Amino acid sequence: MFNSILNGLSGLGAGFVNMHWANPVMIIVGCILLYLGIKKDVEPLLLVPIGFGAILVNIPLSGLMEEGGFLKTIYDMGVSNEIFPLLIFIGIGAMTDFGPLLENPKIFLLGAAGQFGMFLTIGLALFFGFSKLDAVAIGVIGACDGPTAIYVTSKYAPHLLGAVSVAAYSYMALVPVIQPPIMRLLTTEKERVITMDSKTQPVSKTAKIIFPILVTVIGGLIAPKGLPLLGTIMLGNLMKESGVVSRLAKASENEIANVVTLLLGISIGATMNGELFLKPQTLLILAFGFVAICLDTVCGVLFGKLMNVVTGGKVNPLIGAAGISAYPMAARVVQREGLKYNRFNFLLMHAAGANTGGQVGSVIATAIMLSILHGMGIIS
Amino acid sequence: MDNWTFGFTMVIVGMGGTLVVLSLFAILMVILKKIFPASKHKVSE
């Protein structure tokens, strides 16, 4: 009887007894993510469930990430098979207005330049000894696009999923802090005050409907390995532009995206087990993610300067910084910087065009990257 | 394949490929707008 009571008592507090030193550290990291999300409004939709998932998974003996556990089931249901990021992509497509981009198609080029940091970071990660697929997953942080980073990492480097996802979403939220100093450093005051033509070139509804179909077919044929990403974002946009399935478009951008964001966030947090997460490699990944976004901005602004020269001074190089996928944050940063130097300069529409170009650009760059890997025989 | 060759290929083909594909999209959009121009009536709507 006495032994039985002792045995029963020994089960209480077993979590404390079995705690690894890394678990409390990660619980603190989870709390920091919650603080950033709740108090500082840093990507709260993702950081709150990720932070809480990180706390859950670092409480020993709960079995949440063991076979049949609550978080493992969610992870297997939508992260390991890449379903969740793709469902979010349909919602992103349904939310995105490609109108400003279609009004001025040459801005598409800024969406390409804004992805160069991704490829340069892959080179950097390889130099620091990461394997090829790990380097690719790290480089994709530079897409400034959470779902794309999760899609690629969960498929080709699942052991890095926690670090890559946290880096991708944190730096996306930090775009207003990271970009302005780089924009100021690379442009002259004369360039920053350039006023761009505000005359709009209207786009027909037919063109807006054909755009996602054309991009899917051409992009899919060029880089078929990225078709899941490209196809889902363009499906969402087609539903929005067609106007005939507004219920589906609204569900994609609201209910479906909300539910999937919750499940995705909590299952990413669940990959942040302290024993696996706390290693020097994680710090390197966070550093490379930062470098990737800086390089994206540098390449975008430099390309903007090139376009300024080619067009005879008609393009304000600041809009090059918006050629990344962080929508609409990057466009707002450009607008704000432009107004600082010329209070009559409204760059928002041009920057929004570059920003949506960056969204397509990040998907195309990732699709091309995966197709190169396939072509080299590194992935099947 | 060594990391140097892989990285170099990725940078050159990746950056070049992205630029070419998005340039192609830009050209297609210009053509699309010419084939299906926005009518003045619909624009005012």
**A161-202: per-residue pLDDT in tens?**
989 988 888 888 788 889 999 999 999 999 999 998 877 778
DSSP A198: -
**Which of A126, A210, A211 is closest, CB to CB, to B6?**
A126
**A46-71: per-residue pLDDT in tens?**
889 999 999 999 999 888 999 999 99
**Which of A112, A202, A215 is closest, CB to CB, to B19?**
A112
Of chain A, the percentage scoring pLDDT greater than 70 comes to 100
- The model carries a pTM of 0.89
pLDDT at B40: 62
Average pLDDT over residues A366-372: 94
Write out the DSSP string of A239-294.
HHHH-S-HHHHHHIIIIIHHHHHHHHHHHHHTT--HHHH-SHHHHHHHHHHHHHHH
Query: Residue A276's pLDDT band (boundaries 50, 70, 90)?
Result: confident
Most distant CA pair in chain A: distance in Å?
91
Burial class for A193, CB neighbours closer than 10 Å (0-12, 13-18, 19+): middle
**A2-15: per-residue pLDDT in tens?**
888 888 887 788 88
Which residues of chain A have a CB within 8 Å of the CB of B15?
Answer: 115-116, 119
Structure tokens at A245: 């399935």
How far apart, in whole angstroms, are the C-alpha atoms of residue A296 and residue A293? Answer: 5
**A98-153: per-residue pLDDT in tens?**
988 899 898 899 999 999 999 999 999 999 999 999 999 999 998 888 889 999 99
Does the beta carbon of B26 lie under 8 angstroms from any beta carbon of chain A? yes
Which residues of chain B have a CB within 8 Å of the CB of A364?
Answer: 18, 21-22
DSSP B39: P
